[in-house]
Structure 1
Amino acid sequence: MSQEITGLSERMDFYAHLAFLPGKRVNLCGIYLNQAYRISGSNTESPVIVLPLEGAAEFELDGQSFLSAPGVPFVLEPNAEYCAHVSAETHLFIVQMGSPGARKPQAFPRSGDPNIARLLESFVIQMAFLKGHEHALERVQWFERALVQHCGDGSVTSLPEVHVRDERRICQAVKLINERLEHGVDLEMVASESGLSIRNLYYLMKKYTGMSPYNYCLSRRLIKARESLIRNYEEDPQIANHALRWGFNHLGRFSSYYREHFGEYPSETLECLESLTKFSENVGAVEGARSRQGVRHGSAIPRSVEISP
């Protein structure tokens, strides 16, 4: 795969965020791209479904163009040669079906399957309210079954009867919590500004998300601490510093919460980052020599990079 930056965003503090979660029959990936990119390459032996949650991606295959946007998924067929133009500030949810050598599922429409879009969007929304690693695995298994069922006979597993986006006040409360995490969250004030009593906030959060407001705040602070550790571990590898920044004063308790939520200890996250750094030797600028230090910290932006398997 190769990628080329085609447009710069005003935000220069990072280039991309990536999250990956493997399942038994599907692999899930979330990518947030800060810049506009042109990406080209060849797909694996498994079909891939791409759904933009924000922004857009235009695919070019076999002399045809397909525009994928929120609500309009695109299916990349096995072994397909592709080129994609991705707009800046784009959030992609990507699903790799099956594995090489596995029985091929029923073919999807190449673009715009509304049932697939509903299924993927519902799953992504639910993933924001995970109680921990085990709960994440349960939701992935549900998603796998639903997607494989759709591949087999075209039917769609029933989605949850109550959906958080149907309750405007809870959506507002979640938005306020997310905005105030770094400076502390006053749940009574959040409830008031969302048009709720504190009692109704707890009741409706539990009904629509399966989590109490306190547990949601805890999960978001853990995610922020993990993001801080991943983005800044080279400058500051001390786990305690990242925990303290997000309100965890007891390192042992933080490690326990972290293990329950992510399925690994913070020290294991650091070990994984060190391994990824070694793999980065396979990533290099195509046009001219750039220092690795410059690429990492943004003092020089490679216009085009290639990633070797």
Structure 2
Amino acid sequence: MRTLDANPELEAYLRLNNAGYTEWLAAIAQLLNCSGLEGRLHRPQAVVGSLSALTVDAGIVCVLDLAQDMDLIGCCVSQTLLVTAVQGHGEITLQGGSQLPVFPLAMIPAGRKFTLRIAEGSRLVLVYPVSEAVPAWPRPGLEVALAGHIHRFLLRSDYFQDHQDAIGETQVLFDRMERQLVSGQVDLPEDLPVLDRRLVRVIEKIRSERDWEFNLQDLAHQCGASERNLYYLMKRETGMTPYRFYQRCRLIRVRRRLVDCQCDVPHISWYAADEGFSHLGRFAALYREHFGELPSETVQWRRRLQEESQAEPARRAMI
């Protein structure tokens, strides 16, 4: 598939990064509404990886990036779950011994316990729930078509305008997969256009140079275009203006720090000021516009997860 040079990881919806085993299990169990989930790690005390999740009325898209080998054991979902690999390797074993590769895509039926084995360095995408009309014997190419819709969504996700745009695009994804599954037809999505090489340089500069202050003239010089042409070129190919993309990258960096924060009182104002947001009220409004929640809610989500993961061993001991 041709790409827009995006990192398909839903970075704007990061939920866990430097997190341990128990938090990971609690997060996945909560997101998939999956009880009885167990896990197995090669290095139990080491960082597991990162987890991003975007939830809408239709369902959830969850991206797992693994820093070590991991097995998720004994999960049972109430509706069909789709799993596809963006990179690396994974394998699903259904109760009874049937094995499903996650490339291009695996369809896990409702009510079946399964084990998901993920290799270190892999990036997997979980989409849940999907139509009840999953065919028992899918037509050849259906998995490829469904995976194509998911990958296209992920590539587009790096250029979401804001949270409302993200909700709309996610709903479109679920609608497309629903139609695909109900019809049983193989409808391969069109390839995305190749991003203009001049924009590749601009986007890389904005992403990687954390201390750089926005300057359209500097960007235009970087890519060898006039300021006017650069503005319209980026707007046409990504849907975002250069400044909007710059602003979003800064907000994402603040979000990563909030997700990683282990302090009792998160220094939201410090993190915001460090990324160039001098007015805390304006920053909070921008943050909610882009991510659908306040900065404090990002911190609270992880704290609640930590509390749940710490309470789970005690509940099991009582049982």
TM range, normalised to the smaller chain? 0.7 to 0.9
1:11-90 equivalences in 2 (<5 Å):
14-61=47-94, 62-69=96-103, 72-90=104-122
Unaligned runs of 5+ in 2: 1-36
1:248-259 equivalences in 2 (<5 Å):
248-259=277-288
| Aligned partner of residue 63 in structure 1, secondary structure | coil
| Conserved 8 A contact 1:222-1:258 | yes
Q: 1: distance between equivalents of 2:147 and 2:251?
A: 29
Q: Note if 1:241 corresponds to 2:270.
A: yes
Q: 1: distance between equivalents of 2:244 and 2:122?
A: 29
Query: Could you list the per-position Cα deviations for residues 152-207 of structure 1 after superposition, in whole angstroms to 9, with x for gaps in the alignment?
Result: 1135778578x354434433432332111354455544444445443333222111
Q: Note if 1:213 corresponds to 2:246.
A: no
2:15 equivalent in structure 1: none
Q: 1: distance between equivalents of 2:111 and 2:54?
A: 22
**Greater relative CO (CA pairs within 8 A, separation 6+):** 2
Aligned residue identity for 1:49: L
Q: Note if 1:170 corresponds to 2:199.
A: yes
1:5 equivalent in structure 2: 41
Shift of 1:34: 1.6
| Conserved 8 A contact 2:80-2:109 | yes
Shift of 1:50: 1.0
Deviates more, 1:48-57 or 1:104-113: 104-113
Q: 1: distance between equivalents of 2:135 and 2:200?
A: 36
Shift of 1:28: 1.5
Q: Note if 1:107 corresponds to 2:135.
A: yes
Aligned residue identity for 1:234: C
Q: 1: distance between equivalents of 2:240 and 2:90?
A: 34
Shift of 1:48: 0.8
| Conserved 8 A contact 1:146-1:156 | no
1:288 equivalent in structure 2: none
Aligned residue identity for 2:52: A
TM-aligned CA distance change 1:274 to 1:202, over 3 Å: same
Q: 2: distance between equivalents of 1:192 and 1:156?
A: 45
- Out of 179, 203, 206, the residue aligned to residue 149 of structure 1 is 179
Q: 2: distance between equivalents of 1:26 and 1:57?
A: 22
1:299 equivalent in structure 2: none
Query: Could you list the per-position Cα deviations for residues 218-254 of structure 1 after superposition, in whole angstroms to 9, with x for gaps in the alignment?
Result: 1111111011011114265121011122221211110
**C-alpha root-mean-square deviation of aligned residues, in Å?**
3.1
TM-aligned CA distance change 1:15 to 1:188, over 3 Å: farther
Q: 1: distance between equivalents of 2:256 and 2:207?
A: 14
- How many residue pairs are counted as aligned between the two chains? 276
TM-aligned CA distance change 1:86 to 1:111, over 3 Å: farther
Please list every run of at least 4 consecutive aligned residues from structure 1 whose deviation after the TM superposition is greater than 6 angstroms.
none
Shift of 1:74: 1.5
Shift of 1:40: 1.6
TM-aligned CA distance change 1:155 to 1:67, over 3 Å: closer
Aligned residue identity for 1:248: F
Unaligned runs of 5+ in 1: 286-305
Shift of 1:31: 1.8
TM-score under structure 1 normalisation? 0.78
Q: Note if 1:123 corresponds to 2:157.
A: no
| Aligned partner of residue 117 in structure 2, secondary structure | strand
| Conserved 8 A contact 1:119-1:159 | yes
Query: Could you list the per-position Cα deviations for residues 31-57 of structure 1 after superposition, in whole angstroms to 9, with x for gaps in the alignment?
Result: 222222122222212111111222221
| Conserved 8 A contact 1:75-1:110 | no
| Conserved 8 A contact 1:229-1:239 | yes
Q: 2: distance between equivalents of 1:20 and 1:135?
A: 15
